Structure 1
Amino acid sequence: MTAAIYPIIVKDIQGKDVVMEDFKDKVILIVNTASKCGFTPQYKGLEALYQQYKDRGLVILGFPCNQFGKQEQGNEDEISQFCELNFGVTFPLFSKIDVNGANSHPLYQHLKKSAKGLLASESIKWNFTKFLVDKQGNVIERYSPTTKPEDLNVIIEKLLS
């Protein structure tokens, strides 16, 4: 049986289709991001995590979202340049999406059903909510925006081994 995450198609920051199956056999950290948020400095921690573990099979996927305080108003080129120039981001970034509401991307519909938030809520509360997916494509855990990327080292180590 194929994990439900793998057939989902997303668009990268250049607008090209990417099938989540491309990340099969990798540990995946999926994050909804924004450039003008109090949590934006987490880009630095996410990049450090990516550099530390990418050769062992971790991939971090950033999904810009403008649904929280309109903190991601730029277009894809502006977002990409901002992340690269300010935080040296080299992990994959994707086209801007909605994570909540009627236009919620199918990837986020799946993530939210698989790992509910506080009080069993499905909705994403803010930017930099994180979902950890194992090598088989199973959603393992959901982390709040206040969870720092470096706080995930232990669980990532476990999933990579």
Structure 2
Amino acid sequence: MAEKSVVWRDQMAFINETQYVGRVKNASSDLQRKMATVGGLGGLGDVEVPTGKYEAPTATVEFQSVALGDVAQLTNNDGWIKLRLTGQVRMLDSETGTKIIDAGITRIHGFVKNPPVPGYNDEGSPYTANIAVHFIEISNTSGRVFMLDMQTGAKYPPDAPGQFGITVTL
């Protein structure tokens, strides 16, 4: 199966179930696996392997301008927000231009680390919210693709450790 070029269209952003039309410029998240370095006698060198845990995940939401309503949305309940991002995935097609092949939804729950303060000028007040992520779920039309719940320890896909091992004792 070949993976072809795709474009995202019709993206939408919801914060606490309020749709932000034309206000959110960009939203992204950063996940890093915790790694352990292993190596020793008989090996060619050190390698990093996943430990099954994650570094503290973060997300950012970049606003083109901040309104007073945003201050309320992002500071209520100690800054706890539920962010939902959606969009269509289209593939390049030589006959129709592009065709819809899927839809994606990312849900992020967490605390806003830097509450917004509106700036007063003629150009608006750009702002980037930094979020300490406690829950992230990525899904498509077929269902869940990836999920981490840092509070309960639940994750998808679940760990599938190897079934066979070898122990050498000298």
TM class by smaller structure? under 0.3
Greater relative contact order (CA < 8 Å, ≥ 6 in sequence): 1
Rg (Cα) greater in structure = 2
TM-score (norm 1): 0.24
* Bigger strand share: 2
TM-score (norm 2): 0.23
* Bigger helix share: 1
